[in-house]
């Protein structure tokens, strides 16, 4: 089981990604912001998938792998603005739920 100090990095990464996603969902940003958002979110979700695998949380592995694929900057998903906003809020919700579940797992 992971200790609290080793699980801190995903929480920091989720916080950074969540703040960026809120800005993306709240209003129109520049194209360079969305490019940076894809790189950051893809890295955060890929790291979260690896952490989920290490913690033997296979459902979360798949959720984070799908999110990493969705936000990958190499082959961007062809979504319109409304679909991206929904994806942003879904991603934020997934990170919040994962944070609560992962925290509960560390306490026991």
Question: pTM of the predicted model, to two decimals?
Answer: 0.84
> Which residue has 């906003």 as its token pair?
85
Residue 108 has pLDDT above 50, yes or no: no
**Which range has the worst mean pLDDT, 6-10, 31-35, 51-55, 78-82?**
6-10
Nearest alpha-carbon partner for 87 in 29, 32, 17, 33: 17
What digits encode the pLDDT tens for the residues 90-102? Answer: 999 999 898 888 8
Element (H, E) at 7: none
């Amino acid at each position: 089981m992971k200790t609290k100090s080793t699980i801190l990095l995903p929480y920091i990464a989720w916080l950074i990604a969540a703040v960026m996603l809120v800005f993306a969902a709240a209003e129109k940003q520049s194209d360079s912001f969305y490019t940076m958002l894809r790189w950051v979110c893809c890295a955060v979700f890929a790291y979260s998938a690896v952490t989920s695998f290490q913690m033997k949380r296979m459902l979360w592995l798949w959720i984070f792998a799908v999110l990493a694929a969705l936000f990958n900057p190499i082959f961007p998903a062809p979504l319109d603005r409304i679909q991206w906003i929904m994806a942003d809020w879904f991603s934020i919700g997934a990170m919040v739920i994962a944070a609560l579940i992962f925290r509960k797992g560390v306490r026991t």
